[in-house]
Structure 1
Amino acid sequence: MLNYPAAYQASTGSALDVDRAFYQRVAAQTEGRELVETLTVPIRSGRAWTVPAGHVFRIVTIDGPQVADLNIWNRHDPRERMWASRTRQLQQAHVSTYDRIWSTLPFLRPLVTITHDTLADYGVDQHGGRVHDLLGTRCDPYVNRMLTGEDFHHHCHSNLTRAVAPYGLTEFDVHDVLNVFQVTGLNAEDKYFMKACPAKKGDFLEFFAEIDLLCALSTCPGGDLSVPLWGPDARDPLEVCRPLGVEVYKIDPALLEGWRSPPVAAYRGNHGLKLETPDWEK
């Protein structure tokens, strides 16, 4: 297959031209970090947490392989949230170190930049599978009911909904996800496939917060995806479900010299609309 060029290209100085040296320093210089929060996400559940701009957070496989669904919002305005489809276009369908997660319109700016990925060497397997995908979205009880006729309340959509409720958000705020530690791809029929999680105990994915964030994570009820979830061989994968850890760090302030939170998109063109002056203002 020919390697056809990507539609969106990074030019020098553009938002896609990531300062790799800066993020390398953030990832490498860990001795000045301060651990400010840790939490555990039990199996088949969700948790939410906040991350100040300029901090880093890690999602850690504390007990062995487990996939998870991640949502991210602007802490102060949840209308700004991660945009999976645009991130696929601007970055990759599977993300790793130096890739960014972008926010929705009209904001369009990086919410996080990935600084460390212990699974970065997974690459592309013999079936075309890659890790940390933006191809699929969260499992949900609506599809489950449609396909099985049964109700199940611990799908990732429901886990995320419960996690963000204390922050005043609802299921309408839950959005397409980053599937952390999950291996996926498209098969010869252009259909989505999932494979068993390759992570081992202690693996992690680390993010640098570009703005103040609210994050939520669901430990998928499919566990490490080593058990079929649908079709004639489907069975309950409870035995392969494991908790995940989250760690939030304040980094050495010296590392942030010269860094600024990215501004929202500069476009202010009103989309070509021409607004007439009301009669009472004439």
Structure 2
Amino acid sequence: MNERAAAYQATEGGALDVDTGFYDRVAVAPGTHELVESFEVPIRSGRAWHVPAGHLCRIVSVAGPQVGDLNVWNAHDPRERMWAARTRQLQRAHISTYDRIWSTLPFLRPLLTVTADSLAGYGEDEHGGRVHDLLGSRCDPYVNRMLTGEDFDFHCHSNLTRAVLPHGLTEFDVHDVLNVFQCTGLNDEDRYFMKASPARAGDYFEFFAEIDLLLALSTCPGGDLSVPLWGPEARDPLEVCRPLGVEVYRAEAGLLEGWASPPRAAYRNLHGVRRPEWTDVGR
């Protein structure tokens, strides 16, 4: 027995077995798909948008390194949203091409599948850092107040909160994030560290929407995280803050032949509870 083997194993044809050929075919390439929406998220702000099932979305580092905090919901039922912890277990702590983001219980299905990642070759650096982080969460004004005694209204939690308000959601719907372009790891004390993003202008992170999605992205007020945010060396990292671009593509219809949105989890939600006997009377 390999004591370091992944706990959750893929079996051929099973739920964790990804058809890589399909996702290679639908990945965005010049002239393959129709660009239906494109915008930039300014520094220290957030924006929410829809990506229909069968469409693709790219997050682009348009002006240089910049971290983006991403939230994902079912566009029709925000109770179904990305589950960072289970995604870490089913996929990995830092995701890349062919990895998926999974939804919360009782839904438990892929919300999106990563189709392209210009930083896929980054791997693990000399400090143990990797990119596109599910290890940590969004920065927020509550922790900031606790650590510094000061209020700051443009942390990622606040940016995401403002972004989703027009869509009928609130702060309570904002959840743990995928930190796009963020480089993180665990140090020798098993503590979370962040380091400067290796992204450069033109780098991108692309994914395929498995169901109709509502997404929200915050341009982190820490910018590229090359400046300490807390501690004795902390200073305002405004100079290293940059916008992020978002592109949404409609996949060419012929490429989607045979694909369908994944169903909800097959478990019947009984949890050991049995129906009262009187409910069967008259049947």
TM-score (norm 2): 0.96
Q: Is the 8 A contact 1:88 1:134 kept in 2?
A: yes
Could you list the structure 1 runs, at least 4 aligned residues long, displaced by more than 3 angstroms after superposition.
none
Q: What does residue 234 of structure 1 align with? A: 234
SS at the partner of 1:159?
helix
The one-letter code sitting in structure 2 at the alignment partner of 1:156 is C
Q: What does residue 193 of structure 1 align with? A: 193
Q: What does residue 118 of structure 2 align with? A: 118
CA distance in 2, matches of 1:28, 1:228: 36
Q: Is the 8 A contact 2:28 2:56 kept in 1?
A: no
The one-letter code sitting in structure 2 at the alignment partner of 1:203 is D
Q: Is the 8 A contact 2:138 2:176 kept in 1?
A: yes
CA distance in 1, matches of 2:31, 2:213: 24
Q: What does residue 130 of structure 1 align with? A: 130
Q: Tell me the CA shift for residue 269 of structure 1.
A: 4.5
Q: Which consecutive unaligned segments of at least 5 residues does structure 2 have?
A: none
SS at the partner of 1:158?
helix
5 Å-filtered alignment, 1:13-92, equals: 13-27=13-27, 29-92=29-92
Structure 1, 30-39 or 76-85: larger mean CA deviation = 30-39
Percent sequence identity is 75
5 Å-filtered alignment, 1:250-261, equals: 250-261=250-261
Q: What does residue 182 of structure 2 align with? A: 182
Residue 27 of structure 2 is aligned to residue 5 of structure 1: no
5 Å-filtered alignment, 1:195-274, equals: 195-274=195-274
The one-letter code sitting in structure 1 at the alignment partner of 2:17 is D
Question: Structure 1 residues 103 and 9, CA, compared in 2 at 3 Å: closer, same or farther?
Answer: same
CA distance in 1, matches of 2:19, 2:176: 27
Q: Tell me the CA shift for residue 275 of structure 1.
A: 2.9
Q: Is the 8 A contact 2:223 2:238 kept in 1?
A: yes
Q: Tell me the CA shift for residue 178 of structure 1.
A: 0.2
Q: Tell me the CA shift for residue 64 of structure 1.
A: 0.6
Q: Which consecutive unaligned segments of at least 5 residues does structure 1 have?
A: none
Q: Tell me the CA shift for residue 251 of structure 1.
A: 1.1
Q: Tell me the CA shift for residue 32 of structure 1.
A: 2.7
SS at the partner of 1:272?
coil
SS at the partner of 1:121?
helix
Q: Is the 8 A contact 1:30 1:251 kept in 2?
A: no
Cα RMSD over matched residues? 1.4
Q: Tell me the CA shift for residue 39 of structure 1.
A: 1.3
SS at the partner of 1:172?
helix
Question: Structure 1 residues 30 and 10, CA, compared in 2 at 3 Å: closer, same or farther?
Answer: farther
CA distance in 1, matches of 2:126, 2:3: 17
Question: Structure 1 residues 80 and 247, CA, compared in 2 at 3 Å: closer, same or farther?
Answer: same
SS at the partner of 1:18?
coil
The size of the alignment, in residue pairs, is 280
Question: Structure 1 residues 191 and 4, CA, compared in 2 at 3 Å: closer, same or farther?
Answer: same
CA distance in 2, matches of 1:278, 1:40: 59
The one-letter code sitting in structure 2 at the alignment partner of 1:211 is I
The one-letter code sitting in structure 1 at the alignment partner of 2:21 is A
Q: Deviations over 1:106-125 (max 9, x none)?
A: 00000000000000010000
